[in-house]
Structure 1
Amino acid sequence: MTASHRRRAELEVIESKAADQVVPLLQASLEPASQRAVFIRDSPAGLIIHGVVLRDAEAETSQGTVYLASGVVMVLEWMVRALASQNGDGDARALARSLARTYRDGEQGRHVADLLDHLLDGTNGTDVIASLLTGDQESLFTLILQLADLAATQAKVLALTGGTDMDGLWEQIGEGLRGRR
Protein backbone atom coordinates (compact mmCIF):
# COMPACT_ATOMS: atom_id res chain seq x y z
CA MET A 1 0.00 0.00 0.00
CA THR A 2 1.40 3.37 -0.96
CA ALA A 3 1.72 6.26 1.48
CA SER A 4 -1.12 8.00 -0.35
CA HIS A 5 -3.42 5.00 0.06
CA ARG A 6 -2.48 4.66 3.74
CA ARG A 7 -3.24 8.34 4.30
CA ARG A 8 -6.63 8.04 2.55
CA ALA A 9 -7.48 4.94 4.64
CA GLU A 10 -6.44 6.81 7.80
CA LEU A 11 -8.67 9.77 6.89
CA GLU A 12 -11.61 7.44 6.19
CA VAL A 13 -11.28 5.98 9.68
CA ILE A 14 -11.14 9.48 11.18
CA GLU A 15 -14.22 10.56 9.20
CA SER A 16 -16.13 7.42 10.18
CA LYS A 17 -15.29 7.76 13.87
CA ALA A 18 -16.32 11.41 13.85
CA ALA A 19 -19.60 10.69 12.08
CA ASP A 20 -20.28 7.92 14.61
CA GLN A 21 -19.93 10.52 17.38
CA VAL A 22 -22.80 12.74 16.22
CA VAL A 23 -25.63 10.91 18.01
CA PRO A 24 -23.59 10.42 21.22
CA LEU A 25 -22.74 14.15 21.06
CA LEU A 26 -26.42 15.05 20.74
CA GLN A 27 -27.34 12.73 23.60
CA ALA A 28 -24.56 14.15 25.79
CA SER A 29 -25.78 17.66 25.00
CA LEU A 30 -29.02 16.88 26.83
CA GLU A 31 -27.24 15.67 29.96
CA PRO A 32 -27.54 18.04 32.93
CA ALA A 33 -23.74 18.08 33.31
CA SER A 34 -23.41 19.49 29.78
CA GLN A 35 -26.02 22.12 30.52
CA ARG A 36 -24.23 23.25 33.70
CA ALA A 37 -20.66 23.17 32.39
CA VAL A 38 -18.87 26.50 32.24
CA PHE A 39 -15.96 25.21 30.17
CA ILE A 40 -16.14 22.88 27.17
CA ARG A 41 -13.73 20.46 28.84
CA ASP A 42 -16.13 20.08 31.79
CA SER A 43 -19.03 19.02 29.61
CA PRO A 44 -19.76 15.41 28.54
CA ALA A 45 -20.59 16.83 25.10
CA GLY A 46 -17.37 18.84 25.12
CA LEU A 47 -15.37 15.71 25.90
CA ILE A 48 -16.72 14.08 22.74
CA ILE A 49 -15.68 17.09 20.66
CA HIS A 50 -12.30 17.08 22.41
CA GLY A 51 -11.79 13.41 21.49
CA VAL A 52 -12.44 14.11 17.82
CA VAL A 53 -10.10 17.11 17.88
CA LEU A 54 -7.35 15.03 19.52
CA ARG A 55 -7.66 12.31 16.86
CA ASP A 56 -7.42 15.03 14.23
CA ALA A 57 -4.31 16.52 15.85
CA GLU A 58 -2.62 13.12 16.03
CA ALA A 59 -3.32 12.54 12.33
CA GLU A 60 -2.47 16.14 11.36
CA THR A 61 -5.86 16.75 9.80
CA SER A 62 -9.13 18.48 10.54
CA GLN A 63 -11.34 15.95 8.75
CA GLY A 64 -12.89 14.52 11.92
CA THR A 65 -13.86 17.95 13.20
CA VAL A 66 -15.35 18.86 9.83
CA TYR A 67 -17.33 15.59 9.70
CA LEU A 68 -18.59 16.04 13.25
CA ALA A 69 -19.67 19.63 12.56
CA SER A 70 -21.26 18.64 9.25
CA GLY A 71 -23.17 15.79 10.88
CA VAL A 72 -24.52 18.06 13.61
CA VAL A 73 -25.56 20.67 11.03
CA MET A 74 -27.26 17.98 8.95
CA VAL A 75 -29.26 16.80 11.98
CA LEU A 76 -30.17 20.39 12.85
CA GLU A 77 -31.46 20.90 9.31
CA TRP A 78 -33.56 17.73 9.57
CA MET A 79 -34.98 18.82 12.92
CA VAL A 80 -35.84 22.33 11.72
CA ARG A 81 -37.59 20.95 8.64
CA ALA A 82 -39.44 18.30 10.68
CA LEU A 83 -40.57 20.78 13.35
CA ALA A 84 -41.73 23.29 10.75
CA SER A 85 -43.67 20.55 9.01
CA GLN A 86 -45.12 19.27 12.27
CA ASN A 87 -46.23 22.77 13.28
CA GLY A 88 -48.43 22.96 10.22
CA ASP A 89 -47.05 25.93 8.30
CA GLY A 90 -44.05 24.04 6.95
CA ASP A 91 -41.93 27.18 6.74
CA ALA A 92 -38.54 25.84 7.80
CA ARG A 93 -36.77 29.05 6.75
CA ALA A 94 -38.98 31.09 9.10
CA LEU A 95 -38.19 28.71 11.94
CA ALA A 96 -34.45 28.90 11.19
CA ARG A 97 -34.64 32.72 11.10
CA SER A 98 -36.52 32.72 14.41
CA LEU A 99 -33.88 30.51 16.00
CA ALA A 100 -31.14 32.74 14.56
CA ARG A 101 -32.71 35.80 16.21
CA THR A 102 -32.49 34.12 19.62
CA TYR A 103 -28.74 33.61 19.15
CA ARG A 104 -27.89 36.93 17.49
CA ASP A 105 -27.06 38.74 20.77
CA GLY A 106 -23.79 37.76 22.39
CA GLU A 107 -20.39 36.99 20.90
CA GLN A 108 -20.53 33.17 20.67
CA GLY A 109 -24.16 33.15 19.56
CA ARG A 110 -23.27 35.22 16.51
CA HIS A 111 -21.72 32.19 14.79
CA VAL A 112 -24.80 30.06 15.52
CA ALA A 113 -27.03 32.81 14.13
CA ASP A 114 -24.85 33.14 11.02
CA LEU A 115 -25.02 29.39 10.41
CA LEU A 116 -28.79 29.31 10.98
CA ASP A 117 -29.18 32.13 8.46
CA HIS A 118 -27.63 29.80 5.85
CA LEU A 119 -28.96 26.47 7.12
CA LEU A 120 -31.52 26.09 4.35
CA ASP A 121 -29.91 28.02 1.49
CA GLY A 122 -28.07 25.06 0.02
CA THR A 123 -24.76 25.85 1.72
CA ASN A 124 -25.78 24.61 5.18
CA GLY A 125 -23.56 27.29 6.64
CA THR A 126 -20.37 25.61 5.46
CA ASP A 127 -18.76 29.02 4.98
CA VAL A 128 -19.20 29.73 8.71
CA ILE A 129 -17.55 26.44 9.65
CA ALA A 130 -14.76 26.90 7.10
CA SER A 131 -13.90 30.40 8.27
CA LEU A 132 -13.71 29.27 11.90
CA LEU A 133 -11.70 26.17 10.97
CA THR A 134 -9.02 28.28 9.34
CA GLY A 135 -9.19 31.06 11.90
CA ASP A 136 -10.72 30.77 15.35
CA GLN A 137 -10.81 27.07 16.16
CA GLU A 138 -11.86 27.63 19.77
CA SER A 139 -14.98 29.38 18.47
CA LEU A 140 -15.51 26.46 16.08
CA PHE A 141 -15.52 24.01 19.00
CA THR A 142 -17.96 26.26 20.86
CA LEU A 143 -20.11 26.49 17.72
CA ILE A 144 -20.22 22.70 17.40
CA LEU A 145 -21.20 22.43 21.06
CA GLN A 146 -23.94 25.06 20.69
CA LEU A 147 -25.27 23.53 17.48
CA ALA A 148 -25.32 20.09 19.10
CA ASP A 149 -27.27 21.53 22.02
CA LEU A 150 -29.72 23.22 19.66
CA ALA A 151 -30.14 20.12 17.47
CA ALA A 152 -30.63 17.91 20.54
CA THR A 153 -33.18 20.31 22.00
CA GLN A 154 -35.03 20.43 18.67
CA ALA A 155 -34.98 16.60 18.57
CA LYS A 156 -36.42 16.48 22.08
CA VAL A 157 -39.19 18.94 21.14
CA LEU A 158 -39.92 16.91 18.00
CA ALA A 159 -40.13 13.69 20.02
CA LEU A 160 -42.36 15.24 22.70
CA THR A 161 -44.75 16.96 20.30
CA GLY A 162 -44.77 14.09 17.82
CA GLY A 163 -45.28 11.31 20.32
CA THR A 164 -41.99 9.65 19.43
CA ASP A 165 -39.61 8.17 21.96
CA MET A 166 -36.09 9.61 22.05
CA ASP A 167 -34.39 6.23 21.56
CA GLY A 168 -36.33 5.69 18.34
CA LEU A 169 -35.51 9.19 17.17
CA TRP A 170 -31.79 8.75 17.93
CA GLU A 171 -31.87 5.50 15.96
CA GLN A 172 -33.52 7.25 12.99
CA ILE A 173 -30.94 10.02 13.12
CA GLY A 174 -28.08 7.50 13.26
CA GLU A 175 -29.49 5.60 10.30
CA GLY A 176 -29.88 8.85 8.37
CA LEU A 177 -26.27 9.79 9.04
CA ARG A 178 -24.99 6.36 8.06
CA GLY A 179 -27.00 6.62 4.85
CA ARG A 180 -25.32 9.94 4.01
CA ARG A 181 -21.79 8.53 4.06
Structure 2
Amino acid sequence: MAVTLGALVLMVSSLAWAPAGHAGTPGEYEAVTCTGNSHSHYDPPLTLQPQETHNYAHVRYTCTTAPGHTTPATGSFDSVSPSASCLSLTDTRGVETVHYADGTRSVIVIDGATTVRVTGVLESLQSGRVVEGRGKGHFIRRTVSALPRQLPTDCLTSGLRVTESAVQLEILP
Protein backbone atom coordinates (compact mmCIF):
# COMPACT_ATOMS: atom_id res chain seq x y z
CA MET A 1 0.00 0.00 0.00
CA ALA A 2 2.80 2.47 0.92
CA VAL A 3 4.70 1.67 -2.30
CA THR A 4 1.58 2.21 -4.42
CA LEU A 5 0.78 5.48 -2.67
CA GLY A 6 4.39 6.66 -3.06
CA ALA A 7 4.38 5.81 -6.78
CA LEU A 8 1.10 7.69 -7.22
CA VAL A 9 2.50 10.79 -5.49
CA LEU A 10 5.62 10.71 -7.72
CA MET A 11 3.53 10.33 -10.86
CA VAL A 12 1.22 13.25 -9.97
CA SER A 13 4.12 15.53 -8.99
CA SER A 14 5.98 14.78 -12.24
CA LEU A 15 2.86 15.62 -14.27
CA ALA A 16 2.44 18.93 -12.46
CA TRP A 17 5.99 20.04 -13.31
CA ALA A 18 6.30 18.67 -16.85
CA PRO A 19 7.25 21.18 -19.57
CA ALA A 20 4.47 23.04 -21.33
CA GLY A 21 2.70 20.92 -23.89
CA HIS A 22 3.88 17.69 -22.26
CA ALA A 23 2.01 17.50 -18.96
CA GLY A 24 -0.48 14.74 -18.23
CA THR A 25 -2.11 12.70 -20.91
CA PRO A 26 -1.54 13.35 -24.60
CA GLY A 27 -3.29 16.54 -25.65
CA GLU A 28 -3.06 18.28 -22.24
CA TYR A 29 -1.31 21.61 -22.31
CA GLU A 30 0.00 24.06 -19.73
CA ALA A 31 -0.54 27.76 -20.25
CA VAL A 32 2.18 29.95 -21.75
CA THR A 33 2.38 33.60 -20.68
CA CYS A 34 4.63 36.00 -22.58
CA THR A 35 5.30 39.62 -21.69
CA GLY A 36 7.32 42.07 -23.69
CA ASN A 37 7.53 45.17 -25.83
CA SER A 38 6.31 45.83 -29.34
CA HIS A 39 7.64 48.15 -32.02
CA SER A 40 4.78 48.81 -34.49
CA HIS A 41 4.65 50.39 -37.96
CA TYR A 42 1.39 51.73 -39.44
CA ASP A 43 0.64 52.06 -43.16
CA PRO A 44 -0.87 54.51 -43.85
CA PRO A 45 0.07 56.45 -40.69
CA LEU A 46 -2.55 56.83 -37.96
CA THR A 47 -4.35 60.18 -37.96
CA LEU A 48 -7.52 61.49 -36.34
CA GLN A 49 -9.49 60.35 -39.42
CA PRO A 50 -10.39 56.60 -39.28
CA GLN A 51 -9.12 54.60 -42.27
CA GLU A 52 -8.09 51.07 -43.22
CA THR A 53 -4.60 50.60 -41.80
CA HIS A 54 -2.00 47.83 -41.94
CA ASN A 55 0.02 47.25 -38.74
CA TYR A 56 3.25 45.27 -38.62
CA ALA A 57 4.89 44.78 -35.23
CA HIS A 58 8.05 43.13 -33.98
CA VAL A 59 7.73 41.91 -30.38
CA ARG A 60 10.43 40.79 -27.92
CA TYR A 61 8.99 38.51 -25.25
CA THR A 62 10.00 36.67 -22.10
CA CYS A 63 7.74 33.62 -21.87
CA THR A 64 6.90 31.42 -18.92
CA THR A 65 6.41 27.97 -20.43
CA ALA A 66 6.26 25.92 -17.22
CA PRO A 67 6.40 26.73 -13.49
CA GLY A 68 9.77 28.37 -12.87
CA HIS A 69 10.88 28.08 -16.53
CA THR A 70 11.20 31.16 -18.75
CA THR A 71 12.52 31.50 -22.26
CA PRO A 72 13.05 34.42 -24.62
CA ALA A 73 10.89 34.62 -27.73
CA THR A 74 10.20 36.96 -30.61
CA GLY A 75 6.91 37.66 -32.31
CA SER A 76 5.98 38.97 -35.74
CA PHE A 77 2.50 40.49 -35.73
CA ASP A 78 0.73 41.44 -38.96
CA SER A 79 -2.80 42.87 -38.95
CA VAL A 80 -5.32 45.04 -40.75
CA SER A 81 -7.91 47.27 -39.14
CA PRO A 82 -10.69 48.52 -41.42
CA SER A 83 -11.10 51.67 -39.31
CA ALA A 84 -8.00 52.75 -37.39
CA SER A 85 -7.09 56.16 -36.02
CA CYS A 86 -4.99 57.65 -33.23
CA LEU A 87 -8.07 57.32 -31.03
CA SER A 88 -9.19 53.76 -31.71
CA LEU A 89 -8.83 50.54 -33.69
CA THR A 90 -11.84 48.50 -34.76
CA ASP A 91 -12.31 44.93 -35.94
CA THR A 92 -8.59 44.23 -36.02
CA ARG A 93 -7.76 40.86 -37.54
CA GLY A 94 -4.26 39.49 -37.78
CA VAL A 95 -1.66 36.79 -37.38
CA GLU A 96 1.22 36.56 -34.92
CA THR A 97 4.02 34.04 -35.19
CA VAL A 98 5.94 33.54 -31.95
CA HIS A 99 9.40 31.93 -32.21
CA TYR A 100 10.66 30.47 -28.91
CA ALA A 101 14.38 30.13 -28.09
CA ASP A 102 14.04 26.31 -28.06
CA GLY A 103 13.24 26.33 -31.80
CA THR A 104 9.47 25.81 -31.47
CA ARG A 105 6.83 28.29 -32.55
CA SER A 106 3.16 29.21 -32.22
CA VAL A 107 1.15 30.60 -35.13
CA ILE A 108 -1.79 32.60 -33.77
CA VAL A 109 -4.83 33.98 -35.58
CA ILE A 110 -6.36 37.06 -33.95
CA ASP A 111 -10.05 37.19 -34.81
CA GLY A 112 -11.44 39.61 -32.25
CA ALA A 113 -10.40 42.80 -30.49
CA THR A 114 -11.81 45.42 -28.18
CA THR A 115 -9.94 48.71 -27.98
CA VAL A 116 -10.55 51.41 -25.40
CA ARG A 117 -8.75 54.51 -24.19
CA VAL A 118 -8.42 54.65 -20.39
CA THR A 119 -6.79 57.74 -18.82
CA GLY A 120 -4.75 58.33 -21.95
CA VAL A 121 -3.61 54.72 -22.42
CA LEU A 122 -4.85 52.90 -25.53
CA GLU A 123 -5.70 49.33 -24.42
CA SER A 124 -6.38 46.64 -27.01
CA LEU A 125 -7.71 43.29 -25.74
CA GLN A 126 -7.38 40.71 -28.50
CA SER A 127 -8.55 37.11 -28.74
CA GLY A 128 -7.94 34.23 -31.08
CA ARG A 129 -6.58 30.72 -31.36
CA VAL A 130 -3.24 28.97 -31.95
CA VAL A 131 -3.54 27.32 -35.38
CA GLU A 132 -0.09 25.76 -35.60
CA GLY A 133 2.77 24.72 -33.30
CA ARG A 134 3.02 25.01 -29.50
CA GLY A 135 -0.49 25.25 -28.04
CA LYS A 136 -2.28 24.33 -31.30
CA GLY A 137 -6.04 24.54 -30.84
CA HIS A 138 -5.86 26.61 -27.66
CA PHE A 139 -7.41 30.04 -27.21
CA ILE A 140 -5.25 33.10 -26.65
CA ARG A 141 -5.67 36.42 -24.96
CA ARG A 142 -3.39 39.30 -26.03
CA THR A 143 -3.26 42.70 -24.32
CA VAL A 144 -1.50 45.67 -25.92
CA SER A 145 -1.00 48.93 -23.98
CA ALA A 146 0.18 52.03 -25.86
CA LEU A 147 1.24 54.76 -23.47
CA PRO A 148 0.24 58.44 -23.92
CA ARG A 149 3.78 59.60 -24.70
CA GLN A 150 3.59 57.43 -27.81
CA LEU A 151 0.63 59.27 -29.31
CA PRO A 152 2.12 62.72 -29.99
CA THR A 153 0.72 65.67 -31.92
CA ASP A 154 1.82 63.87 -35.12
CA CYS A 155 -1.79 62.64 -35.20
CA LEU A 156 -2.80 66.18 -36.18
CA THR A 157 -0.24 66.58 -38.96
CA SER A 158 1.66 63.86 -40.85
CA GLY A 159 0.21 60.95 -38.87
CA LEU A 160 1.68 58.44 -36.45
CA ARG A 161 3.89 55.91 -38.24
CA VAL A 162 5.51 54.08 -35.27
CA THR A 163 4.53 53.21 -31.69
CA GLU A 164 6.09 51.35 -28.79
CA SER A 165 3.74 49.26 -26.63
CA ALA A 166 3.72 46.80 -23.76
CA VAL A 167 2.32 43.40 -24.79
CA GLN A 168 1.11 40.39 -22.83
CA LEU A 169 0.25 37.20 -24.70
CA GLU A 170 -1.43 34.28 -22.94
CA ILE A 171 -1.92 30.88 -24.56
CA LEU A 172 -4.64 29.49 -22.32
CA PRO A 173 -4.72 25.89 -21.05
Instruction: Using structure 1 for the length normalisation, give the TM-score.
Output: 0.27
Question: Which structure carries more strand by proportion?
Answer: 2
Asked which structure has the greater CA Rg, the reply is 2
